[in-house]
Amino acid sequence: MGEDLRELIRREMVRSETLTEDDIKFFKRFIQLTEDGTVILTVDRSLVTQTELILLYLVGRKLAHIAGLVDSPAARLRDIAEALSLPATTVSPRLANCVRYGEIKRGAAGYEIAIGGILSLKQRLQRLVEQPHGGGVSV
């Protein structure tokens, strides 16, 4: 019973810490990358919150890192604010909340999205995908 229970828990309850092909297909509706690793958000900004924009940007950074386009998946506050054309005073408290909820990790190199943040954002953005005509998501 011990081994069976262990396998059941692992199969049913342990979350993978890697992105899947489905995750990449989902996020390509909202994110494009340039050859130098610049993250371009293609989502209609009126359809998402500022927190979702920040999380999308950090997903883009992670994808750019996985693709070998940037050295680090992390971004500094100033870089995030600049990339999103938002004041740092707007970005900072939203990052702090995301860190508090475990969606983002803060380290020496800056802020990096956690797998939980990616999955949470995917669930939150599902509403845009389910709307007719892509819900205003430009591709």
pLDDT digits (tens, 9 = 90+) for 61-81: 999 999 999 999 999 999 999
pTM for this structure? 0.84
CA 94 to chain centre: 14
CATH number of 22-136: 1.10.10.10
The three-class DSSP label of residue 15 is coil
pLDDT digits (tens, 9 = 90+) for 109-124: 999 999 999 999 999 9
Tokens of 62: 């992670």
Residue 19: what are its φ and ψ, rounded to 5°?
-80, 150
> Terminus-to-terminus CA distance in the chain, angstroms?
50
Give how far Cα 54 sits from Cα of 7, 10, 64, 79, Å.
37, 32, 15, 11
